[in-house]
Amino acid sequence: MRFVLPVLAVAATALLAVAQNKEKAKDEDAIQGTWKIEKFDNGGGQGGPSKDDLETMRLIFKKDGKMEMAGGPGGEKMEGEYKLDPAAKVKAIDLVREGRTSPGIYELDGDTLRICIAEGKDAKRPTEMKPNEKGMPVVTLKRVKEEKKDK
């Protein structure tokens, strides 16, 4: 009997790890693709992309944690990496560009992705999906459907 509790604890830990790995794999698969910015909310602060830039910008999440931003200001293209942690209390995402990591949180629901990213020196991960004017925008993205080409 005294061995039952430790065995149950190990089994519960193993089941939790399997569930977390499935959630991570699910989100890593679901985020892959091309996303268009639908809304950029910086909490009333200054800066951010222009309306024209928002129309052309695309975020492309690829396999193995690679990402690309295309169509930025002046047709700019940037590459970087991303890392998801769906097991965190609030799902976490890190965006890495040019050696800088921007910690954030995300919500992924079908073809809608919301990201709140902290930027700037000593940025701390947001704890809620709420923008502020001090460099923590909430960006709502919609998946770009693949266009079918006529044969």
pLDDT tens profile 80-108: 999 999 999 999 999 998 888 999 999 99
pLDDT tens profile 27-61: 999 999 999 999 988 877 766 777 777 888 899 99
- The pLDDT of residue 8 is above 90: no
Considering all CA atoms of the chain, what is the largest pairwise distance in Å, rounded to the nearest integer?
70
How confident is the model over 112-127, as a mean pLDDT?
A: 90
C-alpha 69/C-alpha 79 separation (Å) is: 6
Domain boundaries defined on the chain = 4-143
Please tell me the pTM assigned to this model. 0.76
- The pLDDT of residue 4 is above 60: no
Per CATH, domain 4-143 is 2.40.128.10: yes
Contact 104, 95 (CB under 8 A): yes
| Banded pLDDT at 73 (limits 50, 70, 90) | low
Which 3 state secondary structure label does DSSP give 100? Answer: strand
CA distances from 39 to 20, 108, 116 (A): 30, 15, 12
